[in-house]
Amino acid sequence: MTTTDTPTTPAAGTLGGELRDAALAALSRIGAEVPAAGDGGLPVVSPLTGEALLTVPEAGRAEVDAAISAAAEAFRTWRSVPGPVRGGVVRRLGELLTEHKADLAELVTIEAGKITSEALGEVQEMIDVCDYAVGLSRSLGGRTMPSERPGHRLMEQWHPLGVVGVVSAFNFPVAVWSWNTAVALVCGDTVVWKPSEKTPLSALASNALLRRALVEAGFPEAVSTVVLGAREAGEALVADRQVALLSATGSERMGQQVAPVVAGRGGRYLLELGGNNAAVVAPSADLDLAVRGIVFAAAGTAGQRCTSLRRLIVHSSVVDDLVGRLRSVYAGLPVGDPRADGTLVGPLTDAGARARMLAALEEARADGGTVVVGGEAVDVDGAPGAAYVSPALVRMPAQTDVVRRETFAPILYVLTYDTLEEAIELHNDVPQGLSSAIFTLDVREAETFLSEVGSDCGIVNVNIGTSGAEIGGAFGGEKSTGGGRESGSDSWKQYMRRVTNTVNYSTELPLAQGVNFG
Ligand code: NAD
């Protein structure tokens, strides 16, 4: 950060002062300590006003190294704790999250700018994943396969992996950590978390709850540690050979930097990167339902979800009708303080994000696009340093470069098609492959979109939008989205190492493949 864009500190009695008091009160109810920052430190900037509410200490390489070494030491005991006992700690975390749901959601709103309902939903997702992981703690298991040799047993076991490093993005400041951590803990791993530099308080609060659960059960706190800092702290985690799995969530750019470093040291990585998600709207679509799904996915979270809907591929026979309906809804979307009742669109994370949105709209216009509605800066009382915008709907003549990039803001580009093949071609012709949807009542179209010749994404939906996944399924995407899968299904396998065992309980020593050796 340069001196020219150093955020100002709010005075008492202003909106920023009120946010600072609210954040400190929530942290105190949770029982999270905010260590005093010395010189420098990390400013905690709220997107609600653009001001620095507090400063927290920033971990240097030595602190990151110490956290990793402590986690490696804690792993030596944690790995041998019975799975269901580890599950008990995660169950307790879920209880504490339930107790402090409103407190943690308030911090998420203050740091990430989410409207209250979405912030509560994010904490609920943490509670849900704890439930899921508790179930896993009694059901993780390997297979037994038929051996080709008599008197032999061929089987596999899954063992804890080691230290899991988690690097997370600002827009899901707590849920992404819980997807990784709840599952990693029941798998017997320990965790070092480098949250986004934009959301340190939510991270301190979440980890304080987990540490309370650990201490109550008599386990070392170092099973889970937070290191606060920006990219340099993340780089230290990425480079460390003691980190067996590096799970990184963020931009495609970040993933491209992280992957070669982890691969180069022989580590494992799990990448959850940017998306450029599209929905196809077919002639048979229920347009009332489609409009609701589209608006939540495109304008919800101010377009700042990895699964936000960014492209709409609409059949030419319904495009004018659909765009007309969307225009009316977009024109009435309440933009403003995310804590206020009725607000549906909160702020962008910072002025840089707004500048990138406005620049993308300029580029779209230069490419022949027409902004149908929105796409303007919005002033909010008491928050002149914040970056509020009205969500934009843009008709495009073609899928140009700007459409093929992820702009992390509420821009929905509308393209048209005439055949389903053409729609799928447009759909897949982007670098990213995270989430997708089709709105149709035609079973042939729906099944084609779900099939191997349809969407190339990790998430493919029918008659719902692209965002708002449940934790029971595996979450993640293909191509430049990184290929990782987190949360449900069998994602847990990435947090463990598979061991294949052959046991001979016969008196002979037959060799596999019929080999005769003397
Ligand atoms: P970002 O890439 O700027 O930062 C993400 C995290 O990576 C931060 O903690 C940052 O400090 C760290 N980081 C950045 N460069 C690093 C490096 N070279 N080495 C180690 N750590 C590094 O992303 P952001 O702006 O915080 O979040 C928005 C992006 O995240 C969007 O692209 C969004 O699509 C993506 N995202 C993806 C998912 C998913 O599950 N696929 C979920 C949430 C967000």
Q: How far apart are CA 300 and CA 330, in angstroms?
A: 11
Average of per-residue pLDDT values in the chain: 96
CB of residue 251 inside a 6 A radius of ligand 1 = yes
Measured in angstroms, how far is the CA atom of residue 477 from the centroid of ligand 1?
15
Give tens-digit pLDDT for 341-356. Answer: 999 999 999 999 999 9
In this prediction, residue 47 has a pLDDT band, given cuts at 50, 70 and 90, of very high
Q: What is the pLDDT of residue 2?
A: 38
Q: What percent of the chain has pLDDT above 70? A: 99
Residue of 170, 249, 308, 356 best suited for mutating to test ligand 1, as the one with most atoms within 8 Å of CB: 249
Q: Which two tokens stand for residue 254?
A: 């970040």
Q: Name the residue at shortest CA distance from atom 1 of ligand 1.
A: 250
CB of residue 47 inside a 6 A radius of ligand 1 = no
Measured in angstroms, how far is the CA atom of residue 173 from the centroid of ligand 1?
11
Q: Where are the alpha helices (DSSP H) in 81-199?
A: 83-99, 101-112, 116-137, 175-186
CB of residue 173 inside a 6 A radius of ligand 1 = no
- Three-state secondary structure of 297-310: HHHHHHHCCCCCEE
Residue of 58, 167, 276 best suited for mutating to test ligand 1, as the one with most atoms within 8 Å of CB: 167
How far the first Cα of the chain sits from its last, in Å, is 71
Q: What is the pLDDT of residue 1?
A: 37
Measured in angstroms, how far is the CA atom of residue 251 from the centroid of ligand 1?
4
Q: How far apart are CA 471 and CA 175, in angstroms?
A: 10
In this prediction, residue 40 has a pLDDT band, given cuts at 50, 70 and 90, of confident
Average pLDDT over residues 49-60: 95
Nearest to 90 by CA among 168, 188, 185: 185
Q: What percent of the chain has pLDDT above 90? A: 96
258 close to 279: Cβ distance less than 8 angstroms:
no
CB of residue 258 inside a 6 A radius of ligand 1 = yes
413 close to 440: Cβ distance less than 8 angstroms:
no
CB of residue 353 inside a 6 A radius of ligand 1 = no
Give tens-digit pLDDT for 57-67. Answer: 999 999 999 99
CB of residue 257 inside a 6 A radius of ligand 1 = yes
Q: How far apart are CA 420 and CA 455, in angstroms?
A: 11
pTM summary value:
0.97
Measured in angstroms, how far is the CA atom of residue 252 from the centroid of ligand 1?
8
Nearest to 8 by CA among 36, 42, 49, 48: 49
Q: What is the pLDDT of residue 6?
A: 67
- Could you give all domains of the chain from N- to C-terminal order, each with its CATH number? 54-273+482-499 (3.40.605.10), 277-462 (3.40.309.10)
Residue 222, phi then psi, degrees to nearest 5: -65, -5
104 close to 123: Cβ distance less than 8 angstroms:
yes
Give tens-digit pLDDT for 92-114. Answer: 999 999 999 999 999 999 999 99
Residue of 45, 306, 354 best suited for mutating to test ligand 1, as the one with most atoms within 8 Å of CB: 306
Largest CA distance in the chain: 89
In this prediction, residue 3 has a pLDDT band, given cuts at 50, 70 and 90, of very low
CB of residue 349 inside a 6 A radius of ligand 1 = no
In this prediction, residue 39 has a pLDDT band, given cuts at 50, 70 and 90, of confident
In this prediction, residue 5 has a pLDDT band, given cuts at 50, 70 and 90, of low
Measured in angstroms, how far is the CA atom of residue 479 from the centroid of ligand 1?
16
Give tens-digit pLDDT for 490-510. Answer: 999 999 999 999 999 999 999
Ligand 1 atom with the shortest distance to the CA of 167: 9
CB of residue 486 inside a 6 A radius of ligand 1 = no
Ligand 1 atom with the shortest distance to the CA of 170: 26
The least confident of 10-14, 116-120, 139-143 is 10-14
- Three-state secondary structure of 30-80: HCCCCCCCCCCCEEEEECCCCEEEEEECCCCHHHHHHHHHHHHHHHHHHCC
Nearest to 41 by CA among 60, 57, 53, 54: 57
Ligand 1 atom with the shortest distance to the CA of 271: 41
Q: Are strands 277-281 and 435-439 parallel, antiparallel or unpaired?
A: parallel
Measured in angstroms, how far is the CA atom of residue 108 from the centroid of ligand 1?
17
Q: How far apart are CA 370 and CA 294, in angstroms?
A: 19
Q: Name the residue at shortest CA distance from atom 13 of ligand 1.
A: 231
Measured in angstroms, how far is the CA atom of residue 93 from the centroid of ligand 1?
25
Res 226 pLDDT > 50: yes
Give tens-digit pLDDT for 170-205. Answer: 999 999 999 999 999 999 999 999 999 999 999 999
CB of residue 113 inside a 6 A radius of ligand 1 = no
> Which of the two residues, 248 and 12, has the higher pLDDT score?
248
Instruction: List the 277-281 sheet strands across, edge first.
Output: 370-373, 392-395, 411-417, 309-315, 277-281, 435-439, 459-462
Q: Name the residue at shortest CA distance from atom 21 of ligand 1.
A: 234
Measured in angstroms, how far is the CA atom of residue 439 from the centroid of ligand 1?
30
CB of residue 171 inside a 6 A radius of ligand 1 = yes
Res 4 pLDDT > 50: no
CB of residue 169 inside a 6 A radius of ligand 1 = yes
Give tens-digit pLDDT for 359-415. Answer: 999 999 999 999 999 999 999 998 999 999 999 999 999 999 999 999 999 999 999
**Per 3-state DSSP, what percentage of the chain is helix, strand, and coil (rounded to 5)?**
40, 20, 35
Q: Name the residue at shortest CA distance from atom 23 of ligand 1.
A: 250
Measured in angstroms, how far is the CA atom of residue 350 from the centroid of ligand 1?
15
Q: How far apart are CA 428 and CA 242, in angstroms?
A: 38
Q: Which two tokens stand for residue 305?
A: 């979800």
Query: Residue 170 in 3-state DSSP?
Result: coil
Q: How far apart are CA 491 and CA 470, in angstroms?
A: 14
Kindly list the catalytic residues.
272
Average pLDDT over residues 248-257: 98
From start to end of 265-369, where are the E strands? 268-272, 277-281, 309-315
CB of residue 235 inside a 6 A radius of ligand 1 = yes
Average pLDDT over residues 250-266: 98
Average pLDDT over residues 221-248: 98
CB of residue 230 inside a 6 A radius of ligand 1 = yes
Average pLDDT over residues 59-86: 97
Residue partners of 180: CB distance under 8 A and separation at least 6 = 164, 166, 191, 247, 486, 495
